[in-house]
Structure 1
Amino acid sequence: MKNSRKKRAPHQRLQFSIIGLANAAVDIGSLNLLLFLFPTDDRSTLLLFNTVAYILAIINSYVWNSIFTFREAAKGSAKERIKFILQGLLSLGINNGVFLLFNGLLQFFGIPVWIRHNLAKGVAMFCSFAASYLMMKYLVFKGSARKNPEK
């Protein structure tokens, strides 16, 4: 059973990464759409826009990762959903903190607004992506894989 998990790990990381790219498209696409429709450099509004974009991406993440990446361990239970929401909130905090921090740093260097927002978002997505993977693998979808009677 343990060897089976070791063999699955690279495949699992690849699936998580592909889904992560789709999540990134949802996340950065939503943020850019909001910034296009309502241009702003106000920290509170940026925080709101980033939060909305991240929540859309995290919903997308749960659906696809529970179906594909962690399907053997995903139970769909209320406890699992609560743990997913908690890891999502922690990841959101990481994402928002890094986004605002890097946006401020890049602003200090006089980088144009659109480039600054997208660079800061990219760094924030990477940091929250890494944290999210670790939390989903070891906290949300942990435990023994489902027993499949057909195998």
Structure 2
Amino acid sequence: METVKQAIKYGIVGISNTLITMVVIWVMMKLFGCREGLSNITGYIAGILNSFVWNKQWTFKSSSSGWGKSAYRFAVAFVICYLLQYGLVMLLNKHLTIDHYYNHLIGMAFYTVINFIMNKFYTFKS
């Protein structure tokens, strides 16, 4: 039951992260003409800051490790999940003929699942 509650909270935090991330990616790609890689990483950095604070304090209520240790583990989990999702986006860009912007949405859904698992069992484990 606790995992279900955490998943729901993680989903709520994730919605805010997704909105922040996608707005930043869209603004950078569509308004400023930035490359996909720069737009993608900048969007994820904006979302990740929001995610760390809310997931540590609210979703997983992690107090077993300090902010520094949690931040380090969160960064490790982020890098692993980010590289996996970005690889998927590049693969989709190569093989699908839809606007590349939509491939980022697919990549974000993939990222969300693997990041929840890593945060629950690695980053914020009690």
TM-score under structure 2 length normalisation: 0.90
1:135 counterpart residue number: 118
1:75 is the counterpart of 2:65: yes
Distance (Å, rounded) in 1 between the aligned partners of 2:120 and 2:30: 35
Residues matched between the structures, number: 126
1:52-63 equivalence runs, <5 A: 52-63=42-53
Which amino acid letter does the alignment assign opposite residue 39 of structure 2? F
Note the alpha carbon deviations across 1:20-79, whole angstroms, 9 max, x for none.
111110111110010122336xxxx21111011111111111011111101145633322
Q: Residues 74, 34 of structure 1: CA spacing in aligned structure 2 closer, same or farther, 3 A cutoff? A: farther
Task: Calculate percent identity across the aligned residue pairs.
Answer: 25
Structure 2 runs not aligned, ≥5 long = none
Distance (Å, rounded) in 2 between the aligned partners of 1:72 and 1:79: 11
TM-score under structure 1 length normalisation: 0.76
Q: Which has the higher Rg, Structure 1 or Structure 2?
A: 1
Q: Is the 8 A contact 2:21 2:46 kept in 1?
A: yes
1:126 counterpart residue number: 109
Which amino acid letter does the alignment assign opposite residue 25 of structure 2? L
Structure 1 runs not aligned, ≥5 long = 1-6, 144-151
More helix by share: 2
